[in-house]
Amino acid sequence: MRRISYARHRFPPAIIQHAVWLYLRFALSYRDVEDLLAERGIDASYETVRRWTLKFGAAYAQRIRAGRRRPSSRWHLDEALIRIQGRFHYLWRAVDDEGEVLEVIVQPRRDRKAALKLLRKLLKRQGFVPDAIVTDRLRSYGAALRDLALEERHVIGGQSNNRAEVSHQPTRKRERQRRGVGSPGSAQRFLSTHAAAYNHFDIQRHLIARRTMKSLRAEAFATWREIATASGRALCGSRAPGHLRDNAK
DSSP string, 109-157: --SHHHHHHHHHHHHHHH-S--SEEEE-S-HHHHHHHHHTT-GGGEEE-
Quick one: DSSP state of residue 18?
Answer: H
Neighbouring C-beta atoms of residue 33, cutoff 10 Å: 24
Domain ranges of the chain: 13-67+219-243, 74-192
Residues of the chain below pLDDT 50: 232-245, 248-249
Quick one: DSSP state of residue 7?
Answer: T
pLDDT in tens, 140-180: 999 999 999 999 999 987 665 566 667 666 766 666 665 55
What pTM value is reported for the model? 0.76
- For domain 74-192, give its CATH number from 3.30.420.10, 3.50.50.60, 3.40.50.10470, 3.20.20.80: 3.30.420.10
Residue 145 CB burial class (10 angstroms; 0-12, 13-18, ≥19) = buried
pLDDT in tens, 56-73: 999 999 899 888 888 999
pLDDT of residue 133: 94
Task: Yes or no: say if 156 and 133 are a contact pair by the CB < 8 Å rule.
Answer: no
Residue 237 CB burial class (10 angstroms; 0-12, 13-18, ≥19) = exposed
